[in-house]
Amino acid sequence: MIRVVLALLLTVVIGFSVEAQDLYVLHVKGDIRVNPENKPLKTGDKITADKEIKFMSQDATAIVMSREKGRMQLDGKKSKSSGSGEFLAVVTEVMVPMKLNMQMSTRSEAEFVPVRNLKEYFGEDQFAVVGEQLFVPLDESQFPEEKHSALVFRYEVDGKPKMKVLPRKQNIILFNKDKIFGNHQPVQGEIYHVDKVTKASEQLTSFRPVFINEDSLSKELNALADFYTTQDSTLTQDSLRTRMEQYVQDVYGKTDAYQLGKWIEKQPFPAQENVQE
């Protein structure tokens, strides 16, 4: 009998510790509120797994992290309708493991290495750009600079094709959000090699560019750094930066690891101050 009681108490204690664990909020997409305060959930917040949250739409999601479970997603599609256009759930009811992105750019070298294959570089799914522009160095042996040819990004708006020449200077092409999309939302598109004389074209790759707001990403990575430095006092700068790069690829998609790494180095993350060199 005593053993049974002790076992039940142990189960309750363990269950309570799991429910009360701190979750660091890294990323929020859409409108999610924390009850009973009806407080908007935002990057940098800490909540417990037993909190009730309210999704203002089932498309809303958040990414949280805990010592016990690692990085998890709060999926609004697993919440239940309250009958008034909102969707309710306890945090643990909507926690699902995050899928890891195995499409990390191979350009993690310490130098600005020219690209030989645009399909391998951009991939064929989602490609993340930090900020609003990306510089892509081209291998001149694969992409000789010729007056009669150009690299063109093609996409469609309301079924109508749009074609934008990618500016090139000294074997570097500029992929700029405003110059390509203007007031339109970035969408799936293709890069073509176009002969201006014969009008012949060859599709080199197809992908969907995602431009990440730098201020938002800085807050997310600082929250990530806050989590890791709190959990591990022996963490090094190199290890933390590697985890930051992994986070970006998992959340936003394949990216240029070299340029991402340079951007991270320049950011003044307060949570990094006590990290070892």
Q: What is the 3-state secondary structure (H, E, C) of 218-253?
A: HHHHHHHHHHHHHHCCCCEHHHHHHHHHHHHHHHHC
Percentage of the chain exceeding pLDDT 90: 72
pLDDT tens digits, residue range 195-213? 999 999 999 999 999 999 9
* 2 or 213: which leads in pLDDT: 213
Q: Compute the radius of gyration of the chain from its Cα atoms.
A: 23
What the block records as the tokens of 249 is 């690829």
- The least confident of 106-115, 193-202, 237-246 is 106-115
Angle in degrees, CA 111, 112, 113, rounded to 5: 95
Flag the least confident range among 106-115, 156-165, 197-206: 106-115
Domain boundaries, the chain: 2-97
Query: Quick one: residue 170, left, alpha or beta (phi over 0 = left, psi -120 to 50 = alpha)?
Result: left
Tens digits of per-residue pLDDT, 246-269?
999 999 999 998 999 999 989 887
- CA–CA gap between residue 166 and residue 153 (Å, rounded): 7
Q: Which of 98, 53, 47, 99 is nearest to 76 (CA)?
A: 53
pLDDT for 273 beyond 70: no
- 170 band by pLDDT with thresholds 50, 70 and 90: confident
CB-based burial, 4-28: b 16+ in 10 Å, e otherwise: eeeeeeeeeeeeeeeeebebbbbbb
Residue 217 has a pLDDT of 97
> How confident is the model at residue 47, as a pLDDT?
95
**What pTM was computed for the model?**
0.84
Contact 203, 223 (CB under 8 A): no
Mean pLDDT of the chain: 88
